[in-house]
Amino acid sequence: QVQLVESGGGLVQAGGSLRLSCEASGLIFSTYTMAWFRQAPGKEREFVGGIRRSGGTTRYADSVKGRFTISRDNAKNTVYLQMNSLKSEDTAVYYCAADQSWVVFSTTQYDYWGQGTQVTVSS
């Protein structure tokens, strides 16, 4: 049974930082593309950042480029999202996702999803 468990969310002031983690189990982590998405109230789920199996290729949404960094540790079956210079518009539930195919990063057609972790940025 595949599980993706996010952690690290919380309340932070604008300009602050948070580091999200997503630990995977039940799959061969190193063979999966991993990504972070977010969904704000009343809005559609949107792509934030993605990373290929070896970690050599990453992509980001324009809205987070230069502020967020995605990384992975295949030995720990974990993907991270370092979020710096947070803005109120970053407030959302953040989800990690996994796909074993060479998926287009920004699609929502990933094989597996976590339950999400809330990030709230106060201005």
Instruction: Kindly indicate the confidence band of residue 103, based on its pLDDT and cuts at 50, 70 and 90.
Output: confident
E strand intervals along the chain: 3-7, 10-13, 18-25, 33-39, 46-51, 58-60, 68-73, 78-83, 92-99, 112-113, 117-122
What's the whole-number average pLDDT of the chain?
96
Nearest to 15 by CA among 120, 85, 91: 85
Whole-number pLDDT of residue 104: 87
Instruction: Kindly indicate the confidence band of residue 50, based on its pLDDT and cuts at 50, 70 and 90.
Output: very high
- Average pLDDT (11-17) is 98
